[in-house]
Amino acid sequence: MNLTRLLEQLQYEVVQGRGDISITELVNDSRKVCEGCVFVCISGAVSDGHAYIQDVAEKGAAAVIVEKDVDAPENLTVIKVADTRYALALMSAAYFGYPAKKLKVIGITGTKGKTTTTYMVKSILEGVGHKVGLIGTIEVLIGDKSIPANNTTPESFTIHQYFAQMAEEGCDSVVMEVSSQGLMLHRTAGIPFEIGIFTNLGEDHIGPNEHKDFEDYKRCKGLLFKQCRLGIANVDDRWYEDVFAGATCEIETFGLSEKAGLRAVDIRHISEPGYLGVRYHVTGLMDFDVEIDIPGEFSVYNSLTAIAVCRHFDVPAENIRASLKVAKVKGRIEMVKVSDDFTLMIDYAHNAMALESLLNTLRDYDPGRIVSVFGCGGNRSKTRRYEMGEVSGRLADFTIITSDNPRYEEPQEIINDIITGMKKTDGKYIDICDRGAAIKYAIEHGRPGDVIVVAGKGHETYQEIRGVKYDMDDRVLIQNALKEIAEGR
């Protein structure tokens, strides 16, 4: 492949060598450099690709893409661009033959609701014969293949690689989560989104290696609506107008308020032994009844989002209704049967906004008690810990504070930060650092009518400690606890 072909969508300067050379591969990881490749130097939070130029030249790279002035061996072609992350995105699209043009790409951004909504959209569209790829927090789905996800929105090269595989598998569309980090780091630059969706915005992902402040977080969310044909927005969110201030797309809205184009009315909670759900009526741009086996107002918003998307694929109301009734997502209000007396669920709620929404939702179902079991991740903003402690203290009847992914911090110090927030309330709590022991305690002390929420990890099957991911799954911890209790241990 000719290098100029990869650079055709970019403005660039040939600093050294020639741009019209043949290259073998496109690479952005110095460990994967091979003979004749072009290496894109990314300035990352941990390392800077520009520091590896001598190394990649010795490994046989034919060219490098840089955004800084560098010293390079004379036999190495050096191309300078304004932003190498942006360049990598557009070069990746060209490298794989612009596969996004063969798909209808649906991008969903927002603080919460992205994951559930992607699965709902996929379920509905596949119910009427579409073949749909998925890229998200839990996994990447290509045909019958599931690939575990490392990031909500992968690096741009990986995204286009997935798109190419999806097109090869016969997919006609793809639904993907678009994180603010992905937008900020240009991972989705150049993708021709058919539809972009805004779910909501809360103060999250602000801190070291994330967003410098809320304004930056909000700005990055809005970038999606400068590169999609149609934007579909939650008009009830307080930041809707800010996010869409610079939008260049057509705009439709959904929500519960009268100003929404697609609206949910007559919302009713359904509570039966071992079952929590919700019913409502869709009005405005469509008109039919819906029932979902997932409780709460946020489930109404998530399903309404999916309906707003699938309307543009001409999916009949009866198909939408049938697909939503059976839609399930691992780690999103995932019910686990442990007792005939009380309910236990696993949920990914890992910030104050998500936890508050979940606990308020469960309160609407009039439980005996709400018992909250959660921790917070290490090497993230301490503010999240204080806020989650305060939310659980206010809204849960009893809180069991435990460990999540401590990363490079001491687990007990993270717990102590959560307790700082908890002490702003009158909430009752206990701290048990070992997550398995915390879950066992919750089950052993469950009372009739309780709803126990094991929050924070959801679909995750590991615990990250000092750079190592150890096997740990809340489902397994629950089963271990039940076994120990049955054996009297």
Fold observed for domain 3-95 = 3.40.1390
How would you class 31 by CB atoms within 10 Å of its CB: exposed for 0-12, middle for 13-18, buried for 19 or more?
A: exposed
Q: Are 12 and 84 in contact (CB under 8 A)?
A: no
The reported pLDDT for the residue numbered 210 is 64
Closest among 269, 256, 242 to 304, alpha carbons compared: 256
- Cα gap 216→109, rounded to integer Å: 15
Among 162, 186, 161, which Cα is nearest to 175's?
A: 162
pTM across the whole model: 0.85
Q: Tokens standing for 297? A: 């107002």
CA distance linking residue 240 with residue 225, whole number of Å: 12
Nearest to 106 by CA among 183, 170, 179, 196: 196
The string of pLDDT tens digits covering residues 209-267 is 565 678 888 888 999 999 999 999 999 999 999 999 999 999 999 999 999 999 999 99
Angle at alpha carbon of residue 405, lines to 480 and 113, rounded to 5°: 95
List 372's β-bridge partners, or say none.
399, 453
Helices (H) then strands (E): counts for the chain:
15, 24
DSSP 90: H
- Tokens for 239, please give them: 């930041």
Amino acid occupying residue 289: D
Q: Which residues contact 316 (CB under 8 A, 6 or more apart)?
A: 128
**Cβ 472 vs Cβ 463: under 8 Å:** yes
Q: Where are the alpha helices (DSSP H) in 83-144?
A: 84-95, 114-126
Taken in order 22, 25, 29, 30, the sign of the CA dihedral is: negative
Distance CA 379, CA 404 (A): 12
Q: Taking a C-beta distance cutoff of 8 angstroms, is the pair 107, 188 a contact?
A: yes
Listed in sequence order, the residues at least 6 apart from 214 whose beta carbon sits closer than 8 Å to its beta carbon are: 203, 206
Superfamily of domain 99-326: Mur-like, catalytic domain (3.40.1190.10)
Residue 455: enclosing H or E segment and its boundaries?
Answer: strand 451-455
Bridge partners of 261, per DSSP, are none
Q: What is the CATH number of domain 334-486?
A: 3.90.190.20
User: 280 φ, ψ to 5°?
Assistant: -160, 170
User: 399 Cβ partners below 8 Å, 6+ apart?
Assistant: 371, 372, 373, 374, 389, 392, 393, 422, 427, 428, 429, 430
* Pairing, β 343-347 against β 334-336: antiparallel
Instruction: Report whether 456 contacts 420 (CB < 8 A).
Output: no
Identical fold for domains 99-326 and 334-486, yes or no, is no
On whether the CB atoms of residues 78 and 72 are closer than 8 A, the answer is yes
Task: Tell me the sheet residues that pair with 184.
Answer: none
Angle of helix 411-422 versus helix 382-395 axis, rounded to 10: 50
d(CA 330, CA 407): 23
Domain limits of the chain?
3-95, 99-326, 334-486
Give the chain's mean pLDDT: 94
Residue 345: count other Cβ atoms within 10 Å of its Cβ.
Answer: 19
Distance (Å, whole) CA 346 – CA 354: 13
Phi, psi angle pair for 9, to nearest 5°: -95, 5
Task: Round to whole Å and give the CA distance between 345 and 334.
Answer: 5
Which tokens is 446 given?
A: 């469950």
According to DSSP, the β-strands at 462-465 and 398-401 are unpaired
Backbone angles phi and psi of 87, in degrees to 5: -60, -40
pLDDT digits (tens, 9 = 90+) for 168-206: 999 999 999 999 889 999 999 999 999 999 999 976 555
Can you tell me the distance from the alpha carbon of 157 to that of 483, in angstroms, rounded to the nearest whole number?
45
Decide: 221 and 198 in contact? Cβ < 8 Å: yes
pLDDT at res. 175: 98
What is the distance between the alpha carbons of residues 260 and 265, in angstroms, rounded to a whole number? 11
Tens of each residue's pLDDT in the chain, 489 residues: 999 999 999 999 999 999 999 999 999 999 999 999 999 999 987 889 999 999 999 999 999 999 999 999 999 999 999 999 999 999 999 999 999 999 999 999 998 889 999 999 999 999 999 999 999 999 999 999 999 998 889 999 999 999 999 999 999 999 999 998 899 999 999 999 999 999 999 765 555 556 567 888 888 899 999 999 999 999 999 999 999 999 999 999 999 999 999 999 999 999 876 678 999 999 999 999 999 989 988 899 999 999 999 999 999 999 999 999 988 888 999 989 999 999 999 999 999 988 998 999 999 999 999 999 999 999 999 999 999 999 999 999 999 999 999 999 999 999 999 999 999 999 999 999 999 999 999 999 999 999 999 999 999 999 999 999 999 999 999 999 999 999 998
